[in-house]
Structure 1
Amino acid sequence: MTVLILGGTTEARRLAGLAHGEFAVVSSLAGRTSAPLLPAGEVRIGGFGGVDGLAGYLRDAGIGAVVDATHPFAATISANAFEACARSGVPLVILRRPGWSAGPGDQWHRVASLDEAAAALPRLGRRVFLTTGRQGLAVFAGLDGCWFLSRSVEPPAGDVPRHLEVLLDRGPFTVEGERAVLTGQRIDVLVTKDSGGSPAKLVAARELGIPVLMVNRPPVPPAPVVSTPDEAMSWLRTRAG
């Protein structure tokens, strides 16, 4: 069975490593970074051309199952994958790592979108650590009263805040390292998405008493959902019969 894995996430790479050899694996990466970490098996880079293009690819490539292992905030490709699989009759499972939950000592303020985060930000702090990715920086471009430290793998493009310093880095990150960034830059508010994974920055913020603006995840399409690559492998083996 040929399996299409959507996404360049850590979970997608782990799943490709597990599935390679047992299945014919094709991993699809969006192509937003110039030097992505490549998974095992065949790799294609770039979009499909919307729902119609993806449905055509599933048919032409003889795809037997699709695993949507994209970033939890990649809502467009997830919606396209669901629709294309429904049209094509190809089984789909969504692999999403669990989100974060606030614990004792956390000062979280949950919002539904980056726009809501930008609206709430001036009430919480002035020196901001943005870990929401480079593509969302334009939302904060009008907040001239705030200073921003933005972390991303690639440099930002387009509209950005006037007072912005960019930190180019790729995880995983440690609590000690995150604490050093927060204290060294005198950060008084952290803005992040509920992406899940390592909570190092959240632990450091809790220890330092720094409030967090947490952007909630978009809803997932009504498809089966698993939370680990091992669970996705079990699903694939069931589909393969």
Structure 2
Amino acid sequence: MVRQIVLDTETTGLSAEGGDRIIEIGCVELVARKLTGNNKHFYLNPGRDSHPDALRIHGISNEFLKDKPPFSAVVDELMAYLQGAEIIIHNAAFDVGFLNKELELTGRAPFRDFVEEVTDTLVMAKEMYPGKRNSLDALCDRLGVDNSGRTLHGALLDAELLADVYINLTRGQDALLIADEVAEGAQALSVVSGIDLRGIALPVLHASEEEAASHEGVLAQIDKACGGKTIFRSIQNAEKTVP
């Protein structure tokens, strides 16, 4: 079973090497591309003030962080949670750079040594939508993800939004899951292969207009994401040309 963790951080500034630190970590778990609710969220005392520009973005005051634990106090819990998972991050180089610095300061191995792989949704989005804005807000607007509650950046909220964005970006992968389910169903049928099923009349349930419209909407999104190379569309077009 594939386990994925969508991760986001907030920091005191833009330079991990320049002394900036992580102040918030948000993690959202997906198993088989479904939200499980098994999430993690930490506020951290960075031992330094946030830059004014960073404070305007996340709104997390130094006073609020005074009684929060340092990264060293939560690192074991965090890395045990992330162990062996695929980590999904928007602009991964930034977050991984900060996590590597925090791990280095606690005498631990680099971040990628703990996880299966890191997937960067910014790289994915640039490949799918070249030349367009691919910030998290822009992707939410493009993919119909409700981000109306995002007035300030927050690690857990952004991770939740990114999870929805990722599911929409990779919606074509649902076909692979369906194929797996069909294979499992065929294997189950083989158990009763000695029974003659030819006399059983199966009802045909046609899609309603609403279901057909929803289906067309999904196909349109997949068409847009893959440059008009949807397999279902190609089969449809081939059937229309058969005399």
The alignment's TM-score, normalised by the length of structure 1, stands at 0.33
Structure holding more helix per residue: 2
Q: Give the number of the structure whose alpha-carbon radius of gyration is greater.
A: 2
Where relative contact order (Cα < 8 A, 6+ residues apart) is larger, the structure is 1
Larger proportion of strand: 1
